[in-house]
């Protein structure tokens, strides 16, 4: 049976269909519920493609959704790790999380263990040290994820990539990522009323529809005086830029500038790393970048080897000198 994902103007715009164009109810009912929860279109799309991947594998098994266990998920992980190219641990874990959410949505409980037992228990307590320890339980199989390392662009790479732009729109796109740390989706969602040029402020609607207000530095403020984020070429001339248009813009300038590692999120990482090097407090950086957890902001504290050497040289230069030995 051939399965497909289509985009329709239904309760949720993404629908899973079989080869007879019949809806796959267990998946679409879940997507409709997430749409009612007002998840972003990007989150709904990610959920839909994760469910499509699982449904294509699951259709050949002699089970219904109510009969799956952790042993079923173990077989599903083996299937994914046998694929080429092999998915990342983050991708596999996200798919497993979505499947568990679907099972809880339909049956009101966790997926049973079956023949595989991955449940873990441990004790934890308040980070400040007060109160009694309490028991925590982790359910289900997860792959070990490598520790995430932030890789900002070097100053020379930023300057070379920046020099390849000529229009106010393109400079505004890069400037908002580099000097205010905006995500690509946040840049694309900006409206003219979000720009408070007289007050040098910018209102941003981030992940989870969380709003934050950011200051506009002088460099980007000059560009934004002539800024209008629209497509400049082709059939969509004068229309808002799309995610595909933004990806095309970066591909073109990566070739033109020969900075192969430049992408929208790398500029956001560069902003975060620059702010840490400048000595900004972590709570302030958390607000500027729109992180819901301080743990995400802490990733920017990781120093590159050049940063370590710079800090070492500064510390050596500022250390107190040992007194000279007394003359005999």
| Known active-site residue 94 | no
| Known active-site residue 84 | no
Q: Could you give the C-alpha distances from 314 to 130, 310, 318, 319, in angstroms and in order?
A: 38, 6, 6, 9
Q: Which of 35, 53, 268, 269 is catalytic?
A: 268
Q: Which of 15, 35, 169, 183 is catalytic?
A: 183
Q: Which of 251, 265, 310, 314 is catalytic?
A: 265
Query: At a CB cut-off of 8 Å and minimum separation 6, what does 240 contact?
Result: 188, 229, 230, 231
| Known active-site residue 310 | no
| Known active-site residue 300 | yes
| Known active-site residue 183 | yes
Q: Which of 56, 94, 207, 277 is catalytic?
A: 207
Residues serving a catalytic function are: 183, 207, 265, 268, 291, 300
């Amino acid at each position: 049976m051939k399965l497909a994902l289509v985009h329709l103007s239904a309760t949720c715009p993404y629908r899973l269909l079989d080869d007879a164009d019949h809806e796959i109810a267990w998946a679409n009912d879940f997507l409709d519920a997430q749409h009612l929860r007002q998840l972003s279109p990007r989150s709904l799309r990610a959920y839909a493609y994760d469910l499509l991947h699982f449904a294509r594998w699951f259709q050949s098994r002699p089970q219904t959704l109510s009969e799956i266990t952790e042993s079923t998920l173990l077989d599903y992980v083996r299937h994914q790790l046998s694929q080429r190219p092999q998915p990342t641990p983050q991708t596999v874990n996200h798919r497993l999380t979505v499947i568990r959410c679907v099972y809880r949505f339909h049956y009101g409980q966790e997926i049973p263990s079956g023949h595989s037992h991955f449940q873990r228990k441990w004790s934890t307590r308040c980070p400040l040290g007060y109160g009694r320890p309490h028991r925590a339980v982790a359910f289900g199989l997860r792959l070990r994820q490598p520790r995430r390392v932030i890789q900002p662009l070097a100053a020379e790479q930023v300057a070379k990539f920046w020099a390849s732009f000529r229009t106010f729109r393109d400079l505004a796109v890069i400037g908002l990522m580099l000097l205010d740390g905006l995500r690509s989706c946040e840049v694309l969602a900006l409206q003219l009323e979000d720009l408070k040029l007289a007050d040098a402020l910018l209102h941003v609607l981030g992940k989870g529809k969380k709003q934050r207000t950011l200051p506009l530095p002088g460099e980007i403020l000059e560009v934004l005086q002539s800024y209008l984020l629209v497509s400049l070429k082709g059939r969509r001339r004068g229309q808002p830029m799309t995610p595909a248009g933004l990806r095309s813009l970066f591909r073109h300038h990566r070739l033109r500038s020969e900075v192969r590692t430049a992408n929208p999120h790398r500029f956001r990482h560069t902003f975060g790393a620059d702010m840490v090097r400048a000595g900004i407090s972590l709570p302030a950086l958390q607000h500027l970048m729109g992180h819901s957890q301080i743990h995400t902001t802490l990733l920017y504290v990781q120093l590159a080897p050049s940063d370590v050497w710079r800090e070492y040289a500064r510390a050596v230069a500022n250390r107190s000198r040992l007194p000279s030995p007394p003359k005999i």
